[in-house]
Amino acid sequence: MIREMRFVVSVPDEVSAYAVAEKLAERGHLLVAVRQVPNDPLEGRFAGWWRAHSLVVDPPYEGPLEVSPAEKKAVAAVARKYGGQVNSACGQFPDQAIERFSREGLAHELDRAEADRIRAELVGAQTAAAPSLPAPPGLKCGGFRRPAADLRAAAEVVPFEGRTFDGVGDLIAAIADEAFPQGSVVPATPGAVPRLAALAGADGVSDFYRAMTLMVLFQMSTAGRRRLAYQADAPEDGGAETPAETATRAAVAAVLPGLAVGRSELAEFLLAGLSAATREAGAGMPASLERTAGRYAGTARIPVVNLIRAVADGAEEPIRTATAAVAAALPGVVDGLQSPKATAEGRALHTLDTVLQWELDNARLSKLGAVFGPR
């Protein structure tokens, strides 16, 4: 069987699109085409942008057909370098894959043998980069209550009269969609911070949803600095947070002292990351971070603990070293291919965002109640 991956990368201009296409061809993508984003109301936010469409086919392997995480992250790094983003990355059945690929705007068509040679070298390098530390088990987190009970508890702190939701997860998604669309800070973002903080501290809301709100708060408070990191190569970048991004970071800092949301390892770890990213440098870390370090000594979670410590301290060289250590310990999670023009803090926050989201996705959910043990 063959693993086929299709990618769609959007960038602001035609020159960048052809540069992305060349980078993808250098990674052994068999076919790469460049096209302008169509004039479609559904594509309004990409008006004037261009896209690189590619197809990469790896050698036969056993198992389900899916996108290679390493390739997905590498393509995302290429997109960020040129101020863009990956809109689609999907694995499909390989039957007639090459024939189905549209040749409109074709920029590169590699010889199959040459593409296979490039891919074999890249996949071999990825295999050689396997981490030396064992992957940690997921952080513990309380499971879910009944949806109706969760929503009643949420409504006590975040009233939503006249609107219905299937669960607290839908409520959090609705707040994020309105105030933090597609991960971008807008003028309404700072005003949503107190609502999310209220959900994070609501005792009647399931622990996992409380943790989810911490993840959203982390992404909101770091959005500007992460944006500057992945747009560091864009010549039009102003090199500073927008007023809304700065106001959002201040809003999160204001609610941070009230976020005593422990009860689960997952929430404690996310809170430590949020604290490091939001507080002034050198403000110190919650004691829970040291407890986590003790529980997971000898695993790939320790480099992440060290990165959180380094971000909290604020010294540039330790941040740089700790970021590289996380990329080495978790190569299947962190791509480690960020612009050298980005600040050490920006690269670290991008790495932390990726790893904390991975922790959220891989949490070990228990039945109900506290799972963090006696205080």
The reported pLDDT for the residue numbered 337 is 57
Q: How do residues 289-330 score in pLDDT, each as one tens digit?
A: 888 899 999 999 999 999 999 999 999 999 999 999 998 888
Average pLDDT over every residue of 36-42: 85
Using the predicted structure, report yes or no on whether residue 247 has a pLDDT greater than 70.
Answer: yes
Using the predicted structure, report yes or no on whether residue 60 has a pLDDT greater than 90.
Answer: no
DSSP, collapsed to helix, strand or coil, labels residue 358 as helix
The domain over range 3-128 is classified in CATH as 3.30.70.260: yes
Tokens of residue 285, six digits: 């870390």
Using the predicted structure, report yes or no on whether residue 9 has a pLDDT greater than 80.
Answer: yes
The reported pLDDT for the residue numbered 183 is 87
Euclidean distance between CA atoms 241 and 116, whole angstroms = 43
Residue with more model confidence, 23 or 44 = 23
Using the predicted structure, report yes or no on whether residue 63 has a pLDDT greater than 60.
Answer: no
Average pLDDT over every residue of 199-213: 92
Average pLDDT over every residue of 83-109: 77
pTM of the model: 0.71
Closest CA to 303 of 337, 336, 256, 267: 336
The reported pLDDT for the residue numbered 86 is 82
The reported pLDDT for the residue numbered 236 is 52
**Could you give the C-alpha distances from 295 to 47, 263, 305, 359, 371, in angstroms and in order?**
50, 16, 12, 15, 14
Euclidean distance between CA atoms 227 and 347, whole angstroms = 10
Euclidean distance between CA atoms 308 and 277, whole angstroms = 8
Closest CA to 334 of 74, 122, 132: 74
> What single DSSP character describes residue 167?
S
Q: How do residues 170-185 score in pLDDT, each as one tens digit?
A: 999 999 999 998 888 9
Closest CA to 306 of 340, 355, 261: 355
- Provide the CA 261 distance to its chain's centre, in angstroms: 22
In terms of C-beta density within 10 A (0-12 exposed, 13-18 middle, 19 or more buried), how is residue 242 classed? Answer: middle
Whole-angstrom distance between the N-terminal and C-terminal Cα of the chain? 52
Q: How do residues 254-284 score in pLDDT, each as one tens digit?
A: 999 888 666 799 999 999 999 999 977 666 6
Query: Residue 91: pLDDT band by 50, 70, 90 thresholds?
Result: low
The reported pLDDT for the residue numbered 93 is 53
> Is residue 371 within 8 Å of 140, Cβ to Cβ?
yes
The reported pLDDT for the residue numbered 259 is 83
**Could you give the C-alpha distances from 183 to 40, 49, 180, 253, 254, in angstroms and in order?**
22, 19, 5, 19, 21
Average pLDDT over every residue of 130-140: 80
Average pLDDT, the chain: 84
The reported pLDDT for the residue numbered 106 is 96
Domain spans in the chain, listed from the N-terminal domain onward: 3-128, 147-372
By mean pLDDT, which of 29-43, 52-66, 135-149 is the weakest?
Answer: 52-66
Using the predicted structure, report yes or no on whether residue 237 has a pLDDT greater than 90.
Answer: no
